[in-house]
Structure formats: C-alpha cells, structure tokens
Amino acid sequence: MNRYQAVFSAIAEDVEVLSESAFHHREWGELRPAPGVESAPGDLPVLPHLSRFLYLSYYAGDTRAARWLIDGAPVVLGTRRREDPAVARALTEANQGSGYWDADWHTVTTGPEGSQVRKNGVTLTVTTKESLPTTAVPGQRVSVRFPPHRPYTYPGWYLAIGDEGMPRHGEQPVVRLYYAPRGPAAAADLMRAITGRLCSAGVPYQLKAANHPEGYERRDAMVLYLYRESWRSHEPELTDVHREHLHALRDTGPALALELGRGWWLADEPEQRQGRLMSFGQHRCLLVAEGLLTAWREGRTTAADRLRAVEERYRAERLDPAKPYLNAQGSSVQ
C-alpha cells in the first residue's frame, strides 16, 4: 500500500455516508450541510458537503476552514476580507512580471481617449498604449495589454501572470506545481525567484499564493501552473529554485499529489467535468465522495467496502488509485 492508497484507506475508515444529507466522521460525529446550502441539480445534499470536507481536511490540511465548514460558518466572504494588505503588497512587489498582451479583442468604438473593446462578453476601455495596433477601427481585432497580476480573481489568493500570458486550459496539457512556504515572507521570496526565472525564459505561467497569513496553514499555499511541455523543458531551473529555497519550505504537501522534494509537489491539471473546470484537489476529492456515496446506496457498510467503492470510482474515470496525480492511465507528468 503506497501513500495514496493509505490516504484512501484512512478516509474509508473515518467516513461513512449515513443518508442523502448526512455522513459520519470517526472524530467529529454526524455532519450535515448548514441550512440554506444548495447542491447542484441531481446531486444529493450530502455530496458537495462531504466533498468539501474531504478537500479541506484530508487533502489541503486546512483544519481552520474545515472547522468553519463543520460549524456552518459562512463560506462566502467579501474579497478584501480575505486579504491581508501587507501580504498582498509583498507578493505584488516580489512579482517580476511586467505585463502581457492578450489577443483577439474586437474593437467596438474608438475615440481620442481610447477605444472600447470586447471579448467573451467582457467590454473594456483601453488607451492607445494598452492596445495593438494603437489605432484601430470598429470591428478590427486588437491585442490588449494587461498587468502582471490579477489580485482578486480567486478570493484568498494573489495571482501572478507571466509576460507571455497564462496557460490556456484545453490547448495543451497543464500541470500544477505545489509549494508549501513557511509563511508570507517565504512565499514572497519564492514569488520573486519563480517569476524572475520564468519571465526571463519567456514561459506562459500563472502563480497563485495565499494573500493572508492563515492561508499558509494549508499544504498547498502556493501553486504554479505550466504547460506540461514547459515543465519538462524548464524543470532544471525550477529545481534550482527549489534547492535555493529549501529552508523556506515546510515538509508537507497536498495529499494526492506527487512529491518532488520537501514542500514541492506535482499533479496533472484535471480535465473538464461536465463542462466545468475544477482544481486537482476538488476533482479528486469529489471522486472519493462519490465512491463513498455509492457504497452507501449499495449497502456496502464496511471500511473495506468503502475503500473498494472509492477505487472503483477512480478506475471508472480511467484514473489509477495508486497514482492519483495522473489524469488518465498512461499519462505522465514527468
């Protein structure tokens, strides 16, 4: 039994679905969704609650957030309530990117102060310095200049974007590299090193880091997204960065990823599920929850039964339970 199968076995020992709306945990007893929490059409109420619980507690090691979930605390907070200004400022200053151009915006109107451009239902007003070509006519396609970050795309996270833009899901296989910094200062140092190396190399990437000190209790407080081919090409440089910052990393990582070194882990970016993108951890924990739910539906009540149901659910998705960091059997992240 390897480390991943041991995680699944521990979950099967600890967790049992009791009904359409409740599950039992060995330590915390019977757990139900907070009043007013809705599930997706066709899903039983227990499924999203169980999946989120598994993600926070077993995968990410975020015991604080898991406790909030159990206690029924509000999940949705204002974006700025999740941000520590000092942490966000340090990450912004450490980001070595200078900005990137995004193509295929359609010019809607033009004027002396700039143009209105539109893409995917979003309309922006841009100056001549933020548009290529600098002069355009309505209907013409242009590229738009964006800053090197999106600080509020993901509540709780600061997102840095490479000078060549970010990996596009669906264009090429994408991998995630997880880092476990000891705290915000260590994360800022890593931000400076990683963005500096990758911008110099002309690599598309995005790098997110927790923007609040509490976020560094997680095992995955920093995540780098790269095309798989970029990872293969630039693994030596990133290995150098890891070695130079080894002292700044905790000896932990997300439970189902592949360990590369202390505080450094790797996984495939999941494929879309029913047209929706999910994070690696969310996707893998949802499959575990679905396996546990199947065991309950079929009257399979022992821990061994639940473990088999989880493994069967993985295999139904062409995933190897012994290598959950890979997308499909036969794929390789290295």
Q: Where are the domains of the chain?
A: 3-60+274-316, 84-97+149-253, 100-146
| E strands present in the chain | 15-17, 23-25, 29-31, 100-111, 114-119, 122-126, 131-132, 141-146, 149-150, 157-161, 174-179, 206-210, 222-227, 258-261, 264-268
| pLDDT of amino acid 76 | 47
| pLDDT of amino acid 274 | 60
| Rg (alpha carbons) of the chain, rounded to whole number | 22
| pLDDT of amino acid 77 | 47
Q: What is the pTM of this model?
A: 0.91
| pLDDT of amino acid 15 | 98
Nearest of 208, 205, 212 to residue 190 by alpha carbon: 208
Residues 6+ apart with CB under 8 A from 50: 15, 17, 23, 289, 292, 293
* Sign of the torsion angle spanned by Cα atoms 137, 138, 140, 141: positive
| pLDDT of amino acid 78 | 45
DSSP for 45-75, written as a single string: THHHHHHHHHIIIIIS--HHHHHHHHHT--S
- The parts of the chain modelled with pLDDT lower than 70 are 35-42, 73-81, 272-276, 329-334
Q: What are phi and psi of 136, to 5 degrees?
A: -145, 165
